[in-house]
């Protein structure tokens, strides 16, 4: 390259670098509200995964997230860890890259992290095992296994440009307005019949692939679906996901099909343990949320730090609980 060319390219590179930095400076910090006009985070394209030892692990990690049952399901080719035949991507949509779809945008940037359910700091590998145990009803994988490390490499790659400790737009649930009333299970049932039954089935059982190795449409309840006490078992956590993403491919986070109320009613119907069974944690000697202050508002199992009933925590109305927590200096966790 000629000296002249370097003279031209250098200032351009510095300029591009400057704008790139200005952009990242706009990325909102923890807990700060994200400005409406901030664009959602875009993860890198898979074609940019390098062709070296790290790239091979990233690709394997992505493959594990997409074809989880094949590798580590009940008949897994590398080990039998999951208790069901779901894949991570059934919930972490588009292999954890869909905005507001339980994605992995800022996951690597925020781990190790304190977790209220365990009341201790968890590494990213341990958090992956959390999902393998619940919702997948499985047994944890060795933290040093090639599979855990590959998934960590993939999750790190998804959030390549996310600054440590930060959130980016699209990495959490969509905002919901809470109805003044409790969620209406009967309305949820009717809406489910209209918007969800065609793919997820009348009994929420989903539809398996022809070879029954996994699902075309994953189950929503029953003994093969996610567990009690796992994140999607919480009504608001699930309603945010449903509003932004379901019916699949029809709803988009900024063009939802359902209203907030409808999403909450459907989530309440799906997660109502009085009508819909699901697997439970086997070892009950270790309680969830040993520090009850750290329970999410919509976590439906007591004891609670406040005087609201388990039914109100689970199905709402949520605003009085939120107001009470704020008034009494208690954490408001979602």
Interface residues toward ligand HEC, by CB under 6 A: 65, 68, 86, 88-93, 102, 107, 127-128, 131-132, 135-136, 151, 172-173, 195-196, 198-200, 217-220, 226, 231-232, 237-238, 242, 246-248, 266, 270
Question: Whose Cβ is closer to ligand HEC: residue 15's or residue 121's?
Answer: 121
CA distances (Å), 216 to each of 96, 213, 230, 242, in order?
Answer: 17, 10, 22, 18
- 32/167 Cα distance (integer angstroms): 9
- Compute the least distance from the CB of residue 329 to ligand HEC, in Å: 24
Q: How far is the CB of 290 from ligand HEC (least distance, A)?
A: 20
Q: Which is nearer to ligand HEC, 90 or 312 (CB)?
A: 90
Instruction: Work out the angle between the directed axes of helices 185-195 and 260-270 (0-180°, nearest 10).
Output: 100
Q: In whole angstroms, how close is the CB of 14 to ligand HEC at the nearest point?
A: 34
Nearer to ligand HEC, 173 or 229 (CB): 173
CA 158/CA 162 separation, integer angstroms: 9
User: Cβ of residue 28: shortest distance to ligand HEC, in angstroms?
Assistant: 15
- For residues 74 and 320, which CB has a smaller minimum distance to ligand HEC in the complex? 74
Helix intervals (H) in the chain: 3-25, 53-66, 68-72, 88-91, 93-96, 124-133, 146-158, 185-195, 197-200, 235-245, 260-270, 310-315, 319-327
DSSP summary character for residue 283: -
Between 199 and 223, name the residue whose CB sits nearer to ligand HEC: 199
Q: How far apart are CB 73 and ligand HEC at their closest, in Å?
A: 10
Nearer to ligand HEC, 134 or 325 (CB): 134
CB of 13 to ligand HEC, least distance (A): 33
3-state DSSP call for residue 249? coil
C-beta separation of 302 from 289 below 8 A: no
Helix axes 146-158, 124-133, angle to 10 degrees: 110
């Amino acid at each position: 390259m000629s000296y002249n060319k370097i003279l031209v390219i250098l200032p351009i590179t510095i300029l591009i670098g400057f704008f790139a930095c200005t952009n990242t400076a706009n990325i909102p910090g923890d807990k700060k509200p994200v400005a409406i006009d901030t664009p959602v985070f875009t993860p890198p394209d898979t074609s940019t995964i390098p062709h070296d030892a790290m790239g091979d692990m990233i690709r394997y990690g992505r493959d594990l997230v997409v074809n989880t049952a094949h590798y580590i399901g009940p008949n897994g080719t590398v080990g039998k860890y999951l208790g069901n035949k779901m894949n991570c991507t059934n919930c972490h949509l588009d292999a954890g890259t869909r905005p507001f779809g339980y994605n992995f945008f800022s996951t690597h940037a925020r781990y190790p992290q304190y977790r209220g359910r365990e009341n201790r700091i968890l590494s990213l590998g341990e958090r992956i095992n959390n999902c393998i145990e619940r919702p997948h009803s499985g047994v944890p994988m060795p933290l040093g296994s090639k599979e855990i490390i590959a998934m960590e490499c993939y999750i790190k790659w998804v959030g390549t440009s996310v600054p440590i400790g930060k959130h980016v737009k699209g990495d959490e649930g969509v905002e919901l307005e809470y109805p003044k009333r409790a969620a209406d299970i009967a309305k949820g049932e009717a809406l489910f019949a209209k918007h969800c039954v065609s793919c997820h089935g009348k009994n929420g059982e989903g539809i398996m692939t022809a070879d029954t190795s996994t699902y075309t449409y994953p189950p929503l309840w029953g003994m093969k679906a996610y567990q009690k006490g796992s994140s999607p078992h919480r009504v608001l956590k699930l309603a945010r996901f449903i509003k932004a993403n379901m019916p699949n491919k029809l709803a988009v986070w900024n063009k939802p099909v359902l209203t907030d109320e409808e999403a909450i009613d459907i989530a309440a119907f799906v997660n109502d343990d009085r009508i819909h069974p699901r697997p439970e944690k086997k070892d009950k000697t270790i309680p969830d949320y040993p520090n009850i202050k750290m329970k999410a508002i919509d976590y439906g199992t007591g004891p609670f730090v406040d005087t609201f009933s388990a039914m109100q925590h689970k199905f709402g109305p949520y605003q009085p609980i939120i107001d009470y927590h704020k008034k009494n200096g208690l954490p408001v966790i979602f």
